[in-house]
A and B are shown apart, each in its own frame.
Chain A
Amino acid sequence: MSYKTKSIETLHEELKSGQIKANELIQEAISEAKKYQKDYNFFVTIDENATYEGPIDNMLAGIPCAIKDNLSTKGMLSTASSNTLKDYIPIFDATAVEKLKEAGAVNIGKTVMDELGMGSTGTTAHTGIVYNPWDRKRMCGGSSSGSAAAVAAGIVPYALGSDTGDSIRKPAAYCGIVGYKPTYGLVSRFGLFAFASSLDHVGVLTRNVKDAAIVIDNIKGQDEKDMTSINLDQSLYQALDKKVAGKKLCYIKEICNIDEYENPSKELKESLTLFQKTLDKAKALGIKVEEVSIDKTLLSAIFPSYLCISCAEATSNDSNLTGILFGPRGTGKSVNQIMKDHRTKGFSPLIKRRFVIGSYVLQQENQEKYFKNAQRIRRLIVNKVNSLFEKYDGLILPCSAGPAPLLNQDNEEQISTNDILENHMAIGNFGGFPSITIPNGFVNDLPIGINITGKVLDDANVLNIAYAIESTMNYKNQIAKENTK
Chain B
Amino acid sequence: MKYIPTIGLELHCELNTKSKVFSRGINHYNEIPNSNLDLLDLAFPGTLPVLNKEALRKAFKMSLALNSQQPKELIFDRKNYYYPDLPKGYQITQQTDPVGINGYLEIAVDDKKKKVLIHDIHLEEDTASMDHYEDFSLIDYNRCGVPLVEIVTEPCLHSAQEVVAYLETLRNTLKYCDVSEADTKMGQIRCDVNISLQKEGINTLGTKVEIKNINSFSNVAKAIEYEIKRQTEALEAGKSDEIIQETRRYDDTTQSTIRMRKKVEAIDYKYFVEPNIPKFKIEPEYLEKIREEIPELPFYRYERYVNDYKLNKADASIIIKDKDFADYFDKCALIMDPKIAANWLTVNILSILNKEDISISEFYITPDLLKQIIDKLEDKTISSKQAKEIFIKAIEQKREPKDFISSNITQVSDEGYLKDVIQKILNNCSQQVEEYKNGKDNLFKFFVGQVMKETKGKANPVITNKILKELLDEK
Name A's B-contacting residues (CB within 8 A). Answer: 70-72, 78, 80, 85, 88, 90-92, 94, 189-194, 196-198, 224-228, 312-313, 315-316, 318-322, 324-326, 335-336, 339, 359, 362-364, 367, 371
Contact = CB atoms under 8 A, between A and B. Distances in A.
Residue from the set B87, B268, B270, B278 with the largest chain A CB neighbour count within 10 Å: B270
Residue from the set A71, A190, A316 with the largest chain B CB neighbour count within 10 Å: A316
Given A197-B276, A319-B80, A371-B272, A92 B39 contact: yes
Interface in B21-68: 39, 42-51
Given A319-B82, A364-B270, A325 B42 contact: yes
A110 to B, nearest CB: 13
18 contacts: A70-B45, A90-B45, A91-B39, A92-B46, A189-B46, A190-B46, A194-B46, A197-B275, A226-B50, A227-B277, A316-B90, A318-B89, A319-B89, A322-B89, A325-B44, A325-B87, A336-B82, A359-B270
B276 A224 contact: no
Contacts of B48: 189-190, 225-227
B45 A78 contact: yes
A319 B87 CA distance: 8
B78 interface: yes
B50 A362 contact: no
Residue from the set B42, B45, B80, B137 with the largest chain A CB neighbour count within 10 Å: B45
Nearest to B81: A319
Interface in B73-90: 78, 80, 82-84, 87-90
B50 A316 contact: no
A363 B80 CA distance: 11
Contacts of A319: 80, 82, 88-90
Contacts of A371: 272
Nearest to B89: A319
Given A72-B45, A189-B48, A316 B87 contact: no
A224 B45 contact: no
A396 to B, nearest CB: 29
Contact of B87 (A91, A224, A320, A363): A320
A123 to B, nearest CB: 22
Given A312-B272, A320-B88, A324-B84, A190 B51 contact: no
Contacts of A85: 45
B267 to A, nearest CB: 10
A251 B84 CA distance: 50
Contacts of A198: 275
Contacts of A316: 78, 80, 89-90, 270, 272
Contact of A335 (B42, B84, B268, B272): B84
A152 B105 CA distance: 66
Contacts of B278: 227-228
B268 A92 contact: no
B89 A80 contact: no
A184 B126 CA distance: 30
B45 A320 contact: yes
A225 B50 contact: yes
Contacts of A321: 45
Contacts of B88: 319-320
Contacts of B44: 72, 90-92, 320, 325-326
Contacts of B43: 320, 325
Contacts of B84: 322, 324, 335
A84 to B, nearest CB: 10
B82 A94 contact: no
A325 B144 CA distance: 14
A207 to B, nearest CB: 27
Interface residues of B, number: 28
A135 B276 CA distance: 39
A189 B80 CA distance: 22
Contacts of B49: 227
Given A190-B48, A225-B48, A362 B80 contact: yes
Given A190-B47, A336-B82, A320 B89 contact: yes
A312 B78 CA distance: 11
A313 B89 contact: no
Interface string B127-146: 00000000001000000000
Given A197-B276, A228-B278, A316-B272, A324 B50 contact: no
A250 to B, nearest CB: 29
Contacts of B45: 70, 72, 78, 80, 85, 88, 90, 193-194, 320-321
Residue from the set B43, B268, B272 with the largest chain A CB neighbour count within 10 Å: B272
Contacts of A367: 270, 272
B42 A94 contact: no
A27 B351 CA distance: 78
Residue from the set A320, A364, A367 with the largest chain B CB neighbour count within 10 Å: A320
A249 to B, nearest CB: 30
Nearest to B49: A227
A107 to B, nearest CB: 16
A346 B159 CA distance: 52
Interface string B70-110: 00000000101011100111100000000000000000000
Contacts of A325: 42-44, 87
A331 B474 CA distance: 101
Contacts of A318: 89
A227 B276 contact: yes
A409 to B, nearest CB: 31
Nearest to A199: B275
B230 to A, nearest CB: 31
Contacts of B272: 312-313, 316, 362, 367, 371
Given A91-B39, A322-B84, 4 more contacts: A70-B45, A80-B45, A319-B89, A322-B89
A319 to B, nearest CB: 2
A325 B278 CA distance: 28
| 8 tightest A-B CB contacts, nearest first | A319-B89, A198-B275, A362-B270, A320-B43, A197-B275, A191-B46, A193-B45, A72-B46
Nearest to B268: A364
B132 to A, nearest CB: 11
A320 B87 CA distance: 6
A363 B89 contact: no
B270 A227 contact: no
Contacts of B270: 316, 359, 362-364, 367
A192 B46 contact: yes
Interface string B263-296: 0000010101001111000000000000000000
A325 B273 CA distance: 26
A227 B43 CA distance: 17
Residue from the set A90, A196, A226, A325 with the largest chain B CB neighbour count within 10 Å: A325
Nearest to A358: B270
A320 B39 CA distance: 12
Contacts of A315: 80
B473 to A, nearest CB: 87
B128 to A, nearest CB: 10
Contacts of B47: 190-191
Nearest to A200: B275
A326 B137 CA distance: 18
Nearest to A335: B84
Contact of B50 (A92, A197, A227): A227
B18 to A, nearest CB: 16
Contact of A313 (B50, B51, B275): B275
A41 to B, nearest CB: 22
B51 A227 contact: yes
A71 B42 CA distance: 17
Nearest to B270: A362
Nearest to B135: A333
Contacts of B90: 316, 319
Contacts of A196: 275
Nearest to A72: B46
Nearest to B88: A320
Contacts of B275: 196-198, 228, 313
